[in-house]
Amino acid sequence: MTDEAAVERLFATVADEFGAVDGVVNNAGVNRDMLLVKAEDGKVVGKMPLESWKAVIKVDLRGVFLCACEVAVKMIEGGRGV
């Protein structure tokens, strides 16, 4: 979901196979160990590495953005968008 060309191909395939695009459920996301800071017995025992956080943001924000933009293009092209 973070590769712009792959997202464009995905929605092109959807439009080719199913016709017009009416909407999208934009819920792709990832999680890394689920905790920003890990604590045990009231003591900090670790925190999420910055690279893990960047991976979460890359999918959770960039993926949503790319899919929303591409589905909007397909909806407008199909006479269904704003």
Each residue's pLDDT, cut to its tens digit, for the chain (82 residues) gives 889 999 999 999 999 999 888 889 988 788 777 788 999 999 999 999 999 888 888 889 999 999 999 999 999 988 887 6
Q: pTM for the complete prediction?
A: 0.76
Max CA separation in the chain (angstroms): 58
Q: What is the pLDDT of residue 43?
A: 96
- Number of Cβ within 10 Å of residue 66's Cβ equals 22
Name residue 64's amino acid. V
Contact (Cβ atoms closer than 8 angstroms) between residue 65 and residue 3: no
